[in-house]
């Protein structure tokens, strides 16, 4: 029975994430939005980084958490095992050229991330507890007001709930417990109890508690990991130009990974680079829009741009660090005693061990994996919570938090091969209705983005200035009127 389920999920995952469905749809949507928005991720990146990382909030704006906390909550959900194991898997199977396609996915994905965060704020509502509620489960139905919108919104909601227990919970908890047991001999049940208590304490406080924790935790964990990677790259600085050379060469020619055949054709490098890039930054999946919708922001465009920087940080910075360390240390060409390529699950650890003295490399990767996975649990708990509220109302939130917390313990203490495959399928199915919605609503996104940026291109306008220059704009008046109204779904 288990073998049949595994085979079915494996086939479904291969089709959904294969070269004929989700990969061209994700890349195509990102490229289309990039064109319609005038390359917004390139021309507005500096202003977006200043607003999100340095100003951090819009004074007097409506919302539940600051723009910075919304950004770190979304980063918490995306900076996870994909940044360590996912990158290694892409390089192991697709060769060094896969890293180039991860970069391309991140760059065009920034337009998708902007668009879904914009829509998350643009169509957000206020729930019975007075909190902002938005995301694809809202904007697909409210933005596409017919049976198609209802169907897309419902489909996303169901898939998001299922995904939150898989990729957002059990698989991450399992990564934490397995790594701590391997490195520090901590029993999985001990990790399970500690993690369960910590997650429950944070979740009880809702998005404001999650926002405070991620705002303090996420920057530390990213800096901790990136500093270790930078040390290795500086120590091997002479090999860095050659690493870039092999990345760009293999991106267009394809090359065998460790002498095998899997990475010998170009399509494999593209497929695994794109798939693992999306797995890492979640651009186009719609999940980050749920966190963006809670932000204290003066206009949807401002939060869309701040959220866009999440993909830049995740892929262009963190993923690049992992990939360059693996390539400069040469571990992707190493083989085990039997002559086979070393497993991707230990490849990043091996690279850091080679690059740092003593056991420092191994410890950094172990601790980083644990921190990344824990942060993903917190971010995804909020995504699942908002999706469950969409189906069953506010009273379902606390039961969901309790069940979600208990499942953390299950993940820590159980083998999860089937759950990993199930999670891949649910992630892909989440993205499909969201991407369709982004394409349908692309005209609205582009039109309202241009209208705002015409007055505030550097994102420096105050709340009073925004109120003045947006006065009379129908979309602005609609947003201000409906965002404080209870959801009617």
Q: Is the pLDDT of residue 487 over 60?
A: no
Top pLDDT among 200 and 10 is at: 200
What is the model's pLDDT at position 175? 80
Residue 488's pLDDT is 52
For the segment 168-201, what is each residue's pLDDT rounded down to a tens digit? 888 888 888 887 887 788 898 999 999 999 999 9
pLDDT tier for residue 261 given thresholds of 50, 70 and 90: very low
| pLDDT, greater one: 144 or 259 | 144
The per-residue pLDDT for 204 is 84
Give percent of the chain with pLDDT exceeding 90.
Answer: 33
pTM score, whole prediction:
0.90
Highest mean pLDDT out of 27-31, 81-85, 334-338: 27-31
Residue 405 pLDDT level (bands cut at 50, 70, 90)? very high
3-state class of 123 per DSSP?
A: coil
**Per-residue pLDDT at 420 exceeds 90:** no
**Alpha helices of 236-332 — where are they, by DSSP H?**
240-253, 266-281, 287-292, 300-311, 320-329
What band does 108 get if pLDDT is binned at 50, 70 and 90?
Answer: very high
Over residues 127-142, the pLDDT tens digits come to: 877 788 889 999 999 9
Q: Rounded to the nearest 10 degrees, how much is the dihedral formed by the CA atoms of 250, 251, 254, 259?
A: 50
The conformational region for residue 60 under phi > 0 = left, psi -120 to 50 = alpha, else beta, is left
Task: List, for residues 438-458, the tens digit of each pLDDT value.
Answer: 999 999 999 999 999 999 988
Q: If you average pLDDT over every residue of the chain, what do you get?
A: 85
* Of 461 and 399, the one with more pLDDT: 399
CA pair distance 96, 331, nearest whole angstrom: 11
> In a 10 Å sphere around its CB, with 0-12 CB exposed, 13-18 middle and 19+ buried, how is residue 54 labelled?
exposed
Is the confidence at residue 209, as pLDDT, over 60? yes
- Class level of CATH domain 9-330+340-456: mainly alpha
Q: What value does the mean pLDDT take over residues 331-358?
A: 79
Residue 257 pLDDT: 46
d(CA 50, CA 37): 20
pLDDT of residue 140: 95
Q: Examine the pLDDT at 463 and tell me if it is beyond 90.
A: no
Please write the tens of the pLDDT for every residue from 250-260.
Answer: 888 765 444 44
List, for residues 35-62, the tens digit of each pLDDT value: 999 999 999 999 999 888 877 666 666 7
Q: What are 85's two structure tokens?
A: 């194991």
């Amino acid at each position: 029975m288990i073998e049949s389920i595994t085979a079915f999920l494996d086939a479904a995952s291969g089709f959904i994430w294969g070269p004929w469905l989700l990969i061209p749809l994700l890349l195509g949507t990102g490229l289309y939005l990039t064109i319609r928005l005038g390359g917004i991720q390139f021309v507005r990146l500096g202003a977006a980084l200043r607003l999100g990382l340095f100003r951090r909030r819009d004074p007097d704006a409506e919302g539940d958490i600051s723009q910075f906390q919304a950004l770190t909550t979304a980063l918490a959900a995306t900076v996870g095992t994909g940044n360590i194991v996912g990158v290694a898997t892409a390089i192991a199977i697709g060769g060094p050229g896969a890293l180039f396609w991860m970069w391309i996915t991140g760059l065009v994905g920034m337009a998708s991330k902007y668009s879904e965060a914009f829509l998350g704020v643009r169509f957000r509502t206020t729930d019975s507890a007075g909190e902002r509620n938005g995301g694809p489960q809202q904007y697909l139905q409210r933005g596409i007001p017919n049976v198609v919108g209802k169907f897309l919104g419902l489909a996303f909601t169901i898939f998001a709930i299922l995904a939150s227990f898989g990729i957002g919970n059990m698989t991450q908890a399992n990564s934490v417990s397995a790594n701590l047991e391997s490195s520090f001999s901590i029993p999985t049940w001990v990790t399970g109890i500690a993690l369960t208590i910590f997650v429950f304490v944070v979740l009880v406080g809702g998005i404001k508690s999650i926002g405070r924790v991620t705002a303090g935790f996420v920057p530390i964990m990213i800096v901790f990991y990136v500093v270790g990677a930078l040390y290795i790259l500086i120590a091997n600085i002479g090999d860095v130009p050659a690493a870039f050379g092999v990345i760009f060469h293999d991106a267009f020619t394809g090359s065998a990974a460790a002498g095998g055949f899997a990475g010998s054709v170009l399509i494999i490098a593209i497929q695994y680079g794109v798939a693992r890039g999306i797995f890492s930054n979640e651009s186009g999946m719609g999940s980050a829009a749920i966190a963006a919708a809670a932000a204290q922001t003066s206009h949807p465009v401002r939060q869309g741009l701040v959220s866009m920087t999440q993909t830049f940080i995740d892929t262009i910075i963190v993923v690049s660090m992992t990939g360059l360390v693996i390539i400069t240390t040469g571990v992707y060409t190493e083989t085990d005693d039997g002559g086979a390529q070393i497993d991707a699950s230990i490849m990043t650890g091996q690279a850091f061990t080679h690059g740092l003295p003593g056991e420092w490399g191994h410890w950094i990767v172990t601790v980083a994996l644990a921190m990344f996975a824990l942060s993903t649990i917190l971010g995804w708990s909020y995504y699942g919570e908002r999706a469950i509220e969409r189906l069953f109302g506010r009273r379902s939130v606390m039961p969901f938090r309790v069940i979600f917390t208990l499942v953390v313990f299950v993940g820590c203490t159980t083998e999860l091969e089937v759950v990993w495959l199930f999670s891949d399928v649910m992630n892909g199915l989440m993205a499909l209705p969201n991407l369709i919605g982004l394409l349908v609503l692309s005209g609205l996104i582009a039109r309202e983005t241009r209208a705002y940026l015409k007055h505030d291109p550097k994102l420096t306008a105050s709340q009073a200035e925004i109120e003045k220059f947006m006065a009379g704009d129908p979309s602005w008046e609609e947003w201000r009127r409906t965002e404080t109204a209870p959801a009617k779904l």
